Structure formats: C-alpha cells, structure tokens
Chain A
Amino acid sequence: MIEAADFPLWAAVLVSILAIAGSLLTLLGCIGMARFTDFYSRIHAPTLGTSFGTIFIVFASMLYFLVSGQRPAVHELLIVAFVLVTTPVTLMLLARAALYRDRTEANGNVPDPVGQDVVVEKEGGA
C-alpha cells in the first residue's frame, strides 16, 4: 500500500482523466434528459451514464486500487454487469407504461400495438 503523496503521476493523470470523462458523460446524460422534448427521446439520454459513464468511472477506480496496491481490482466489473442487466428492465417498464398511456389517450403519433402480446401456452400436448 502506498500513500497519496507517493502515487505515481502517470496513474494519477489517467485516473483523473477516466473519472472526469465518466462524470462528464453522466452529466451530459442528465442535461440531455432535461433538454429533449418528449418522453421517448428523454429515455435515451440517461443511457450515457449507464453505459460508458459507469464504465469510465469503474475503470478509474480499478486503476487507482490496482496501482496503489490496496486490493486486487476486479470486483468493480460486477457493477458494470449489474447496471447493464438491470437498466433494460426499468426502461422497458417505463416505456411500456408510456406507450399504454399514449395509446389510451391517443396523444402523439405512437404506433398501434402489434398483434397479441400475451401468449397463452397450451397445457401438455393436447
């Protein structure tokens, strides 16, 4: 383990660049969410934060702990995995609620539902 004063300059620069890049992407995502005009455009903006916003910040953390030798730095990758797996679930839930609302209220030019969404599976081979 090394103290902050002994942290090598090249690593400090790289960690800072990665952390700032990740934060900037997340910030841009938030600005986009405020600036875009309709719901379906707005849901795209936060994905900046959930994709490379998270990845850059996670890389910064991995690099910092790897170079300072405090611990092996791999378990941050789990953060990326969980964010990638859980975002679509929330997003689909929100988007389908919005689609339902817009279809019932007939606002905007939302496409009509296609086919039947619920599949009734037949029991056995009958």
Chain B
Amino acid sequence: MTALKRLVLPYPLLSLSLVVMWLLLQQSVGLGHILLGSVIAIGAGKAMQALQPEPPRVRNIGAILKLIALVVLDVLRSNIAVATITLSGRRHQPRPAFILMPLELTDHLGLAILSMIVTATPGSAWLEYSPTRNTVLIHVLDLVDEASWVGTVKHNYERLLMEIFQ
C-alpha cells in the first residue's frame, strides 16, 4: 500500500490542490475535466518527486485559520498606513530602516510562508535570509520602534507558524 502510494501519489495534498485548481480554471465539474485534471495532477506529483522536497507536516489546522485572519487584518491595516504615508506629502517623512531579525523557525515551508506574509504586507519587505545564522534582513518603510516591531512579528506570526509546522 505504501509502495503503491509512493509510486502514484507521492504528494497527495499537492495533487488534490492541482485537481481543484484545474476544475476552478475550467469552471466545470464534468467527468472529462476531473479525469484530465487527475492525470495532470498525478503527473505533476511525480515530477515534484524528482525535486525531492520534504513533504510538509501540518500539525495544527486551527492555527492556520487564526494565521489567515491575523494576516488579512494586518495587511489591511498596513495598506491604509502606506497609503497615508504616500498621500501625506512632505509633512510626514517616513523613517525607513533595515532590521536584522533572529528567527527560531527553521522549517522550509514555514519560512517560505513567513516571507510571503512579510512581503505581502505593505511597508515591510523580506530581503535576505541567512540559513547559517538563522537571521533575516528586513526593510521597513516607516519604523517607529524596532523592538516592538520584531516582537509583533515573532509573537504573532513566527509562533503560529511554529505551532503549524514544527
């Protein structure tokens, strides 16, 4: 059973997401599309096997929902903040700064998601990750307090990501 599973579906979650994506793009749940989508999904799963990524271990589904809600709220808030800075003209000069943030998270998928969150949030950008020191260089558009900024990211996002992946 395990051998068969490894041969046909090495990454079941990836293949399932691909079938769902295929059906969404085709906007149909006809048998033909399900079959064609499955063939592509299985093929892609096998192609992925050649890259030998470590399969994700997801521990905590509740934490994922909490993370999504938190990210949406924070991204909305920083959208407003960056839009305000753009509009405020010369009255309010932003204080851009580099931050070197130490990380405890080591899981590759978790780091990828953290970099997506930091980058998708306007006003902060993930620049350079160092796997040997486990630090990341982040650029912040308008830094008020470095300690509280790092604290927020570590307390909210890194803690949740570690609950999910480690």
User: Are A71 and B133 neighbours in the complex by a CB distance under 8 Å?
Assistant: no
| Contacting residue for B130 out of A40, A71, A114, CB 8 A | A114
Question: Is B131 a contact of A51 with CB atoms below 8 Å?
Answer: no
For the side of the interface on B, what is the size category? Answer: 35 or more
Q: At the interface, is chain B mostly helix, strand, loop or mixed?
A: mixed
Instruction: Indicate the size class of the contact surface on chain A.
Output: 35 or more
Q: Which residues of chain A are near B148, meaning CB under 8 Å?
A: none
Indicate if B83 sits at the interface (CB-CB under 8 A): yes
Any chain A CB within 8 A of the CB of B60?
no
Contact flag A75-B25 (CB < 8 Å), given A32-B82, A117-B130: yes
Report the minimum CB–CB distance from A53 to chain B (whole Å): 8
Min CB–CB distance B95 → chain A (angstroms): 10
B125 near A44 with CB under 8 A, answer yes
A47-B119 in contact given A28-B83, A52-B79, A88-B126 (Cβ < 8 Å): yes
- Tell me the bound Cα distance from A92 to B137 in angstroms: 11
Q: Are A88 and B27 interface neighbours, CB within 8 A? A: no
- Given the known interface contacts A75-B25, A114-B137, the answer about A95 and B127 at a Cβ–Cβ threshold of 8 Å is yes
What is the distance, in angstroms, from B105's C-beta to the closest C-beta of chain A? 16
User: A85 interface residue, CB < 8 Å from B?
Assistant: yes
Give the complex CA separation of A38 and B139 in angstroms: 12
Q: Tell me if A's interface is mostly helix, strand, loop or mixed.
A: helix
Within 8 A of B (CB), among A73-89: 74-75, 77-78, 84-85, 87-88
Give the nearest-CB partner of B123 in chain A: A44
In the complex, the answer to whether A92 meets B87 with C-beta atoms within 8 Å is: no
Chain A: minimal CB distance from B79 (Å): 5
Known: A44-B141, A47-B122, A88-B116. 6 other contacts (CB 8 A): A47-B125, A77-B24, A78-B24, A91-B125, A110-B98, A111-B137
Among all A-B residue pairs, the 5 with the closest Cβ atoms: A32-B86, A115-B133, A88-B119, A47-B122, A75-B24
User: Which residues in B have some Cβ–Cβ distance to A below 8 Å?
Assistant: 21, 24-25, 27, 75-76, 79, 82-83, 85-87, 94, 96, 98, 100, 115-116, 119-128, 130-133, 135, 137, 139, 141
* Listed A/B pairs (21) with beta-carbon separation below 8 Å: A25-B83, A38-B96, A43-B125, A47-B120, A47-B121, A47-B125, A50-B120, A52-B79, A75-B27, A88-B115, A91-B126, A92-B119, A92-B128, A96-B127, A96-B128, A99-B127, A114-B100, A114-B130, A114-B133, A116-B130, A116-B132
